[in-house]
Amino acid sequence: MRVVFFALLGLIVGCASDPSARQKLAAAIQTQCLAESKKFLESGAAKAYFTRCVDSRLSALGEDPIYDPGFEQRWPEFETPATGQIFEER
């Protein structure tokens, strides 16, 4: 996990002015945070963990946190059928 973080840090430092590199960085961070948020599905805190994870990691890299007003509507894109069932039950 540290290797991924330092690789992402190198990417942002090396390509800070390149918008496509910044998009790739954000996508990589979102993927990592999504994987980590899976352990919070049982407690129903996966969405909150995912959002805090992405924002805190981007902030640590000197980027602005992502404000995404459509996140709640798009969350199902990140779900598998099993996670969708858990959220529907809550």
Q: Which pLDDT score is estimated for 17?
A: 59
User: Domain residues for 81?
Assistant: 2-89
Q: Which pLDDT score is estimated for 22?
A: 75
The tokens describing 78, both together, are 């990140």
Contact between residue 87 and residue 48 where contact means Cβ atoms under 8 Å apart: no
Q: Which pLDDT score is estimated for 90?
A: 44
| DSSP per residue, 30-48 | HHHHHHHHGGGTTTT-HHH
Q: Which pLDDT score is estimated for 72?
A: 57
**What's the number of domains the chain is made of?**
1
Alpha helices in 15-80 (DSSP H): 19-37, 46-60, 71-74
Residues of the chain with pLDDT below 70 are: 1-17, 65-90
Burial class for 50, CB neighbours closer than 10 Å (0-12, 13-18, 19+): buried
Q: Which pLDDT score is estimated for 53?
A: 82
Q: Which pLDDT score is estimated for 83?
A: 46
